[in-house]
Structure 1
Amino acid sequence: MFTGLIEEVGKMQRASKKHEAMVLTIDASVVMQGVAIGDSISVNGVCLTVTSFNASSFTADVMPETFRKSNLQLLRPGQPVNLERAMLAGGRFGGHIVQGHVDGTGVIVSRESDANAVVFSIRTSDDDMMRYIIPKGSITIDGISLTVVEVHKGGFSISIIPHTLKETALFSKQPGETVNFECDVIGKYVEHLLHFRSGESPLSPAKSASSGKGKLSAAFLSENGFF
């Protein structure tokens, strides 16, 4: 598990690709401290497993599902990537619950200054994911824990302060570029459980939404033992 607080910006050293499988080698320093084979490191919000390392870099495999669901397939040597080690049990929880399981990608539509902040408007690649994106709720963009400012048809916007922008790879991102996003996991688990309790398949969210069953209400939550 991660918190969405980026520890450092690493650099892509090499990407070996065979069809939809990849082996990434990433230059880093902070996340190399105490690293061991099998450790989890978030790369642009994707939880990857360290398979080998030296003093200044680590290697990780990317399987086809991750290749298809994330922007790792677009990485080129020399590009910056956001890095975060898995959270220690006694660590400070400064962001929100981040699994490192990317839900999909989005394309930056605009980047505009707003006083001391920069507002990014992002168009999602999967409209089904929009039901998990809530105004003022948490979202992870390329591994960064952020707050949703607004939600609009087919997308959403986030605002980022100067410090976070400067200390992450989002600093160089421009309109037209692709970012990874992970929705808040709590909503996904609640929806999954409600579908089971309503007798519907949790694997068919679109069907469930259109059927009208399993709608959230105080009465429904009480009947199903939530309070």
Structure 2
Amino acid sequence: MFTGIIEEIGKIRAVSRGSAKSQLVVGARKVLEDVHLGDSIAVNGVCLTVISFDKESFTVDVMNETYLRSSLGNLRIGNEVNLERAMAAGGRFGGHIVSGHIDGTGRIKGTRKDGNAVWYEIIADNSILKGIVEKGSIAIDGISLTVAAVTPISFSVSIIPHTLEQTILKDKRAGSTVNLENDIIGKYVQAFLTKPNDNNEKIWEVLYG
């Protein structure tokens, strides 16, 4: 489990993709301070397992399903990535509950400045948009953010300078692809209400009258 608070920006050192095995080697510093084999590290919001490491980098396996659902397939040597270790027991929740299991990708439609903040509008499929609510939480490339606005084809977030400085979002432009993970609590509620259940009618009546 993660919180969506990025710990550092890492850099891709090697990419190996084949039919039998696909791996990424990621250069890092902070997330290696107490790393162990089998640890989970979120790379641009995708939960990946450390299979080897040294003093300057760690290696992870990447499944084909992960490439299909995320933007990891676009990574090349030298690309920067957001990194976050799994939350330690007793740690603070600075963001929201993030599983590291990507729901899909979105595309940045455009950005605009608003005082010292920057708004990002992101186009996404309806399967993702239906789980997004204004003032709710969304993880973009692993960053815990608050949804500022929602339209039938997109949603927007407003980013403060600190978040831009500490993440790779500052380098994203119109047309860039980003990983998206909806709020897990909302996903459970949505799944519960849409599954066939005799009590669903009563729940909808209570919620919506």
TM-score bracket, normalised by the shorter chain, equals over 0.9
Contact kept, 8 Å, 1:20 with 1:63, in 2: the verdict is: no
For residues 62 and 149 of structure 2, the distance between their equivalents in structure 1, rounded to whole angstroms, comes to 32
**Residue in 2 aligned with 1:91?**
91
**Residue in 2 aligned with 1:187?**
186
Contact kept, 8 Å, 1:10 with 1:81, in 2: the verdict is: yes
- 2:105 equivalent to 1:105: yes
For residues 146 and 208 of structure 2, the distance between their equivalents in structure 1, rounded to whole angstroms, comes to 29
Amino acid at match of 2:166: E
Change (3 A) 1:15 1:190: same
> Structure 2, unaligned stretches of length 5 or more?
none
What secondary structure is seen at the aligned counterpart in 1 of 2:130? helix
Structure 1 residue 117: Cα displacement? 0.3
**Residue in 2 aligned with 1:217?**
205
**Residue in 1 aligned with 2:135?**
136
Question: Please, what is the CA RMSD of the aligned residues?
Answer: 2.1
> Structure 1, unaligned stretches of length 5 or more?
201-211, 222-227
For residues 43 and 121 of structure 1, the distance between their equivalents in structure 2, rounded to whole angstroms, comes to 22
For residues 16 and 205 of structure 2, the distance between their equivalents in structure 1, rounded to whole angstroms, comes to 50
**Residue in 1 aligned with 2:3?**
3
What secondary structure is seen at the aligned counterpart in 1 of 2:191? helix
Change (3 A) 1:220 1:135: closer
For residues 103 and 22 of structure 1, the distance between their equivalents in structure 2, rounded to whole angstroms, comes to 20
Amino acid at match of 1:41: I
For residues 75 and 32 of structure 1, the distance between their equivalents in structure 2, rounded to whole angstroms, comes to 21
What secondary structure is seen at the aligned counterpart in 2 of 1:165? helix
Amino acid at match of 2:99: Q
Contact kept, 8 Å, 1:20 with 1:64, in 2: the verdict is: no
**Residue in 1 aligned with 2:146?**
147
Amino acid at match of 1:12: I
For residues 46 and 145 of structure 1, the distance between their equivalents in structure 2, rounded to whole angstroms, comes to 13
Structure with the larger RCO, 1 or 2 (CA within 8 Å, 6+ apart):
2
**Residue in 1 aligned with 2:159?**
160
Structure 1 residue 195: Cα displacement? 3.4
**Residue in 2 aligned with 1:207?**
none
For residues 207 and 81 of structure 2, the distance between their equivalents in structure 1, rounded to whole angstroms, comes to 46
Change (3 A) 1:196 1:33: same
Taking structure 2 as the reference length, what is the TM-score of the superposition? 0.94
Taking structure 1 as the reference length, what is the TM-score of the superposition? 0.87
For residues 197 and 55 of structure 1, the distance between their equivalents in structure 2, rounded to whole angstroms, comes to 52
Which range moves more in the overlay, 97-106 or 17-26? 17-26
- 2:12 equivalent to 1:12: yes
For residues 94 and 62 of structure 2, the distance between their equivalents in structure 1, rounded to whole angstroms, comes to 28
CA displacement, residues 146-202 of structure 1 (integer Å, 9 cap, x when unaligned): 0001101211111100011011011111111100010001111112223346269xx
Q: What is the 5 A alignment of 1:116-135?
A: 116-124=116-124, 126-135=125-134
Number of positions where the alignment pairs a residue of Structure 1 with one of Structure 2: 209
What secondary structure is seen at the aligned counterpart in 2 of 1:217? helix
Structure 1 residue 132: Cα displacement? 0.6
Amino acid at match of 2:10: G
For residues 20 and 122 of structure 1, the distance between their equivalents in structure 2, rounded to whole angstroms, comes to 34
- 2:169 equivalent to 1:170: yes
